[in-house]
């Protein structure tokens, strides 16, 4: 799988270094700055939380697995390398790279212990307030008309039909990935539909740019409580000695949805 992903990355458009986004990680936040969007930096809480299964109807504090993060020496100029250690002993490494149309994430989760890990998914929380030109608020859905996901292979703006309203915590909206237990997602209103792509995003103030995130495998898509969007990646638990590889993307694309779909299909050729 890693060989295929690296080859897919190699096929991405080649651009001069000064036209690539720049990335920086400090104090649990990844900041992405595109040279054409210098006044609209993207901040991602990376990572907000690692999570246990059984989370849909449970207090959030019982779901979160504590973790600590260490920034490692960069493997390549302009990249970010991180190591995270979970409270149950799991070690997760991240290689984050700027590319022509955004950022790539290569994540490896390893369980060096003699017990099974309950680390089933993790939350990169992408703050989109500056990109959509709306304020960051602690609770609200004011930015929904700028946001989208794919239902029945169609880009669908929020709020979508059948918008869920009830859950342990409100507001927000969760879409569970195909094949994932609906008992194992965020304890926010759970939509009845299943996304056709593991991709969630939004349009810029002038509608000329698209910001989106995708992971393989993924646990859920989530329209958050603050002005944020999530594609939360899936680990699915780890047996003693087991390693799992996860691939992610942030897209910053000037153009319409056709360009986004083309890039997504290039990167996730085996499906979402």
Full domain range(s) for residue 222: 2-267
What is the arithmetic mean of pLDDT over 33-57? 97
Alpha-carbon Rg for the chain, nearest whole angstrom, is 17
The enclosing domain of 84 has a CATH number of 2.70.98
Cβ(111)–Cβ(238) below 8 Å? yes
- Cα separation, 154 vs 39, in Å, equals 31
The total number of structural domains that make up the chain: 1
CA nearest neighbour of 75 among 55, 91, 96: 96
242 located within any domain:
yes
pLDDT, residue 12, reads 47
272 located within any domain:
no
pLDDT digits (tens, 9 = 90+) for 135-193: 888 777 899 999 999 999 999 999 999 999 999 999 999 999 999 999 999 999 999 99
What is the arithmetic mean of pLDDT over 120-125? 98
User: Helical H runs in the chain?
Assistant: 2-10, 129-132, 257-267
- Looking from the CA of 128 toward its CB, the CA atoms found within 13 Å total 33
pLDDT, residue 15, reads 44
Structure-token pair, residue 72: 């490692």
- Higher pLDDT: 55 or 1? It is 55
List CB contacts of 255: < 8 A, sequence separation 6 or more.
Answer: 208, 210
94 located within any domain:
yes
- Higher pLDDT: 173 or 269? It is 173
Structure-token pair, residue 49: 């939380």
- Cα separation, 45 vs 49, in Å, equals 9
């Amino acid at each position: 799988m890693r060989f295929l992903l690296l080859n897919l990355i190699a096929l991405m458009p080649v651009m001069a270094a000064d036209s690539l986004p720049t990335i920086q990680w400090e104090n649990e936040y990844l900041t992405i700055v595109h040279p054409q969007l210098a006044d609209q930096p993207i901040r991602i809480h990376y990572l907000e939380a690692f999570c246990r299964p059984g989370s849909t109807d449970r207090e959030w504090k019982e779901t979160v697995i504590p973790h600590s993060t260490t920034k490692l020496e960069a493997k390549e100029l302009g990249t970010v390398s991180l190591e995270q250690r979970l409270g149950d002993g799991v070690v997760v490494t991240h290689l984050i790279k700027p590319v022509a149309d955004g950022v790539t994430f290569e994540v490896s989760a390893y369980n060096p212990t003699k017990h099974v890990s309950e680390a089933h998914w993790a939350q990169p929380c992408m703050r989109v307030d500056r990109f959509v030109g709306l304020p960051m608020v602690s609770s609200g859905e004011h930015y929904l008309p700028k946001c989208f996901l794919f239902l029945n292979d169609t880009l669908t703006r929020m709020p979508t039909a059948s918008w869920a309203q009830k859950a342990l915590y409100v507001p927000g909206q969760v879409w569970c990935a195909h094949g994932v237990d609906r008992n194992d997602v965020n304890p926010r209103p759970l939509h009845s539909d299943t996304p056709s792509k593991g991709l969630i995003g939004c349009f810029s103030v002038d509608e000329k740019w698209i910001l989106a995130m995708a992971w393989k495998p993924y646990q859920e898509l989530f329209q958050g409580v603050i002005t944020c969007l999530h594609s939360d990646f899936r680990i699915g638990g780890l047996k003693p000695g087991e390693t799992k590889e996860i691939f992610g993307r942030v897209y910053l694309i000037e153009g319409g949805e056709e360009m986004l779909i083309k890039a997504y299909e290039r990167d996730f050729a085996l499906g979402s």
